[in-house]
Amino acid sequence: MQQAAVIAGAPQEPGPAQLSELRAHANELKLRASDLEVRKSQLGEQRRRIAADVDPSAIDKQLANVEHELASTRIQLEATNEQIHDVETERDMSRAVVTVPPPPPMGPEPLIGREQVEMAGVGLFALLIPIVLAYTRRIWMRGGRAQAANVDDSQRLQRMEQAIESIAVEVERIGEAQRFTTKLLADRQPDAVARMAAAPRREAGSITPH
């Protein structure tokens, strides 16, 4: 990350000696305030223990002086703490810098632009159209041939069925005619069957004269 210059108008960084001196003075004031509080407690205890016939004005005067000095010490301690806070704030401000993030890295340029991609897509679409049409035509023609073959087979089977039916009718007619002829002959010549049964049979090996 790149760092910019220090903020314009910022105060110079205070020395560490100044900050150490203020902190040491604050510690002294804390110890002094603690001692004064102990002294105040002792005087208050003495004030409660004195007899009724003893004049407490001297103790009251000492107690008032201690309270006044304690209040002054606390005020000085508070002011010193504020100075320490201000010095630390100035130090932090003097160290503040403006950080500027570096620009994002530029990615590599694409090898193929958007126009080239669009042109390639159009060309591919133009090539696929005749292929799809040819394949569709082939499927349609195959379906037409299959349908024509089915129609031819159906017509052939119908003709064969009609011919078989005609033959069956003719055979049945011939059978009826033969039965009618046989019955008619039997009615006209009832003894024809008997004569045929009584006719001499030719022996094997005999020769009939001519």
Show pLDDT as tens, one digit a residue, over the chain (210 residues).
444 444 444 445 556 788 888 888 889 998 988 998 888 888 888 888 876 767 778 888 888 898 899 899 999 989 999 988 888 888 888 776 545 566 666 656 656 667 777 888 888 878 888 888 888 888 887 766 655 556 667 778 888 888 888 888 888 888 888 888 888 777 776 665 555 555 555 554 555 544
Q: Give residue 183's identity as a one-letter amino acid code.
A: K
Output the CA–CA distances (angstroms, integers) from residue 94 to 69, 73, 89, 101, in the order listed. Answer: 37, 31, 9, 21
Query: In sequence order, which ranges of the chain are alpha helices (DSSP H)?
Result: 16-49, 57-95, 114-188, 192-198
> CA–CA separation, 41 vs 47, rounded Å?
10
DSSP state of 8: T
Instruction: With beta carbons less than 8 A apart as the criterion, state whether 7 and 97 touch.
Output: yes
Asked if residue 6 lies in contact with residue 96, where contact means CB atoms within 8 angstroms, the answer is yes
pLDDT at 98: 46
What is the DSSP-derived secondary structure letter of residue 134?
A: H
CA–CA distance, 61 with 9 (Å, rounded to integer): 53
pTM attached to this predicted model: 0.38
